[in-house]
Amino acid sequence: MISDDDIRRVREATDLVNLVQETVVLRQKGREFWGRCPFHDEKTPSFKVDPRSQLFHCFGCHAGGDSYGFVMRTQNMDFIDAVRYLADRANITLTETKGSVQTGKRQRLQELMKASAEFYALQLLRSTEAGSKAARAYLSGRNMGTELAKRWQMGYAPGGTMLFDHLRGKGFTAEECLDANVAVKGQRGYIQDRFYERVMFPVADLQGRVIAFGGRVIGTREPKYLNTSETLLFHKRETLYALDKAKAAISSQGTAIVVEGYTDTIAMHEAGFTNAVATLGTALTIEHLKLLNRFAKKVIYLFDGDEAGTRAAVRAAELITQDITPEAGRFRVMLEVAELPPGSDPADLLAKQGAEALQAVLDQSTPLVRFAIQHSLKKANLASPEGRHAALRSALQVLLPIRGSILANTYIADELAPQLGVEYSQALALFNGLQAPRAQGQAEQVKDQSEQAKDQSSPSNTNLQNELLVLYIEYPETRELLAEAFERVTWDGEDLPKLAKALTAADKTAESSELYARALDAAPAYAPVLSTGLRQTLSGSARDHAFLLMYMLRESQLLNEIALAKIAYAKALDGNAGNTLFREIAEKQSELAVIREKLAKVPKTFL
């Protein structure tokens, strides 16, 4: 476990503006910084970072929070990993007490993988053994010299038990070596290195920590490439080679290029295509796309010009989902495919024809849906009516996962129907009659989203209470007034009263930054709400705005209380109970009239 003091130290050591600027272009306006939200598509910047409160908020998608929340969303981490990430960034050593066995094991495996990478690198660069010389010769033949090998932490695995013995000497157990999959048990039960006589490519997580290896054999043995199996640290369906190096370029360019090899990725980076990543022994997956979608607006899947590349291109049709349609909004993935000339891969093309030739291939990338449709039509016999009908059915199958979308209807109307010589209405009728893809719960999801949008359209009691708390933090002249008022407020939920108590317990002259820190310590999960700040920009006095908010809150509460009392009055059977409820309603309506009169007299305090 990580102590509260360490969590506070890391938060205080992290400047949110600098952190956000690593992935978002920010422009300063007054004391705040604005940019385009990294969590949804937008043309007009609505993403705000406030250096005083150290909070961010998007007025478009309503995402908000502190530095931990930003890292958790952008790096796909849980809270503990976000603390560790920011601690590393700030050069702070965390003192972790005994927590879960899983957490301790993960840390040990990370240390083991780091030690393994260092061992492999030393074997490649320093060893005079024949295997190391052969590895250096192989890399030299691929135009990968010593400096490049250092930049990419490449290494060489001699095999036998050399790595295993080295790790045991550093205090790692045999079980840990097996769990990290750098060692395996042989047929007779002896433990030996998993990788032998291979050039090694370390695979890192988003923070640059080694979590797996890929090994390319020296010679002609099979398999040519061998990857780490699934471990606690490594899941190949969720990991992309070089994403730790490429994420900044992907964010700035808005495009990611996905290839299928380590050397191809390295060659592309060295040639200036620093937004390239690679899959690891698997085709591109939905999990990969979700990961890339945090950094990229468009993904180009680049296939080799051979039979394996063709098979991968065909399998890519499985990635057609509702996430690629225009209606998908901020979750939309613009997925395109590009095919290299027959018999070539990216590294070969770069070596023979240069970066311009590869860029020309990328410029010809095709949307995945169009590619999949055209591929389904390649073997069709379009000369006969029967052939065209079969081709239409085949192409419509491609669109089934996105049925009902604008994209599917557009492809049918603009491309399929004209190309196959059928009426749009006939093609659409056939399409609607095909077996539907699974879409369970979609209607309920739309309904829920509609209700959520409706709830956000006007200030609720909770919204007004949030704004009172922010006003207390931001404007010291309101604190005496609001501290007294807070004692009379019936707070919503559990966090709001905690926040109010934490704020009023502090010195009334405290800096706003200190109060924000106190609020986050009292209720960390409430950071996204505090990040919204005031709903509107003040143009009048803060005290007037405090009165305005208090009157609005009381008006809202009275309306709710009157509505509930009227329901109870309508159901009251006992005469005395009915009379009591009637008097209660009358008193509340009288107070409501007074509150509304006060509201009418309060100066307008916002723009």
Q: What is the DSSP string of 330-393?
A: GG--EEEEEEPPTT--HHHHHHHH-HHHHHHHHHT-EEHHHHHHHHHHTT--TTSHHHHHHHHH
pLDDT range class, residue 103, cuts 50, 70, 90: low
pLDDT range class, residue 106, cuts 50, 70, 90: confident
Q: What is the pLDDT of residues 346-367, one digit of tens each?
A: 999 999 999 999 999 999 999 9
Percent of residues, the chain, with pLDDT higher than 70: 89
pLDDT range class, residue 311, cuts 50, 70, 90: confident
Tokens of 71: 């890292």
Q: Decide: pTM greater than 0.85.
A: no
pLDDT of residue 9: 83
Residue whose pair of structure tokens reads 């999960």 in the numeric block: 525
pLDDT of residue 393: 92
Q: How far is CA 355 from CA 241, 248, 361, 558, in A?
A: 21, 20, 10, 69
Among the residue ranges 280-294, 415-429, 565-579, the one predicted with the least confidence is: 565-579
Q: What is the pLDDT of residues 490-533, one digit of tens each?
A: 888 777 888 888 888 888 888 877 788 788 787 777 776 676 66
Q: Report whether pLDDT(539) > 70.
A: no
Q: Check if the beta carbon of residue 33 is closer than 8 Å to that of residue 19.
A: no
Q: Check if the beta carbon of residue 461 is closer than 8 Å to that of residue 560.
A: yes
Could you give phi then psi for residue 430, rounded to 5 degrees?
A: -65, -40
> What's the chain's length in residues?
607
**Mean pLDDT in the chain?**
84
Q: What is the pLDDT of residues 206-244, one digit of tens each?
A: 889 999 999 999 988 888 999 999 998 998 988 999 999
Residue whose pair of structure tokens reads 């290299």 in the numeric block: 340
Q: Check if the beta carbon of residue 530 is closer than 8 Å to that of residue 557.
A: no
Q: Collapsing DSSP states into helix, strand and coil, what is residue 276?
A: strand
Q: Check if the beta carbon of residue 251 is closer than 8 Å to that of residue 23.
A: yes
pLDDT range class, residue 331, cuts 50, 70, 90: low
Task: Please state whether 416 falls in left (phi above 0), alpha (psi between -120 and 50) or beta.
Answer: alpha
Contacts by 18-23, CB closer than 8 A, 24 or more apart: 19/67, 19/70, 19/71, 19/86, 19/89, 20/49, 20/56, 20/70, 22/248, 23/74, 23/247, 23/248, 23/251, 23/295
pLDDT of residue 276: 98
Distance (Å, whole) CA 567 – CA 573 = 12
Distance (Å, whole) CA 97 – CA 94 = 10
Q: What is the pLDDT of residues 32-55, one digit of tens each?
A: 899 999 888 888 898 988 887 788
Looking at residue 328, what DSSP letter applies?
Answer: G
Q: Report whether pLDDT(197) > 60.
A: yes
Pure H helices in 35-100: 67-75, 79-89
Could you give phi then psi for residue 202, rounded to 5 degrees?
A: -65, 140
Q: What is the pLDDT of residues 416-461, one digit of tens each?
A: 999 999 999 999 989 988 865 443 333 333 333 333 333 333 456 7
Q: What is the pLDDT of residues 6-24, one digit of tens each?
A: 888 888 888 899 899 888 8
The distance between the two most distant Cα atoms of the chain, rounded to a whole number of Å, is 102
Is pLDDT larger for residue 392 or for residue 526? 392
Is pLDDT larger for residue 455 or for residue 296? 296
Q: Average pLDDT in the 144-158 region? A: 96
Q: Report whether pLDDT(607) > 50.
A: no
Q: Report whether pLDDT(401) > 80.
A: yes
pLDDT range class, residue 194, cuts 50, 70, 90: very high
Complete edge-to-edge strand list for the sheet that includes strand 198-204: 155-157, 198-204, 210-217, 225-227
Tokens of 267: 């060659």
